[in-house]
Amino acid sequence: PFPQKDYRFQWSKNFHTVSNRTAINFKCVRHLSLAGQRSIGRCKFHFVNATELTLDQITPTNYNVNTLALQQIIPLENLTKLEILSHDYSFQDLVRFLSLLHHLHTLKIRRIHCSEETDFTTFPNSDLFQFVSNVNMIRTLAITDVNDAKEV
């Protein structure tokens, strides 16, 4: 079979789709796209060599369950590029997820919610934020939907 570099798995209430190739060598997939909240729990494939991940309409609800399922699908420590196509990630959610991605170079996110309870005077001193700051070497950051300058 022809090596496939991209693979999209989508699951919603009424249907699910996978990339249209019939014979797939999952070891050749470099970019995995998961679409729909249920896709994380329903995907039974393992992409051992994937280094790019797109989460489309996947929220940070059930963080522990989603993280465990993602770790079964893709080795998170190998990711170098992450794209989040959702409006539901808070700054704390993002930092908590980034703590699992030790080699991330590129982060693209639709929007980061900055809630009133986020204290940006003390949060940068937290152990989690310090860990993420010291481990990740994000060189490219793109936020595509900003309503207020304080969100940046």
The pLDDT score that the predictor gives to residue 71 is 94
> What number of residues does the chain have?
152
Which H helix or E strand runs over 18?
strand 16-18
**CA–CA gap between residue 106 and residue 15 (Å, rounded):** 31
> Where does the pLDDT of residue 23 fall: very low under 50, low under 70, confident under 90, or very high at 90 and above?
low
pLDDT tens figures, 111-136:
877 666 666 667 778 888 888 888 88
Bridge partners, residue 17, by sequence: 10
Longest dimension (CA), the chain: 54
The pLDDT score that the predictor gives to residue 17 is 59
pLDDT tens figures, 44-94:
899 999 999 999 988 887 788 888 999 999 999 999 999 999 877 888 888
Both structure tokens of 83 = 């794209």
Residue among 127, 128, 137, 37 at smallest CA distance from 88 = 37
> Where does the pLDDT of residue 4 fall: very low under 50, low under 70, confident under 90, or very high at 90 and above?
low
Mean pLDDT of 85-106: 88
pTM listed for this prediction: 0.83
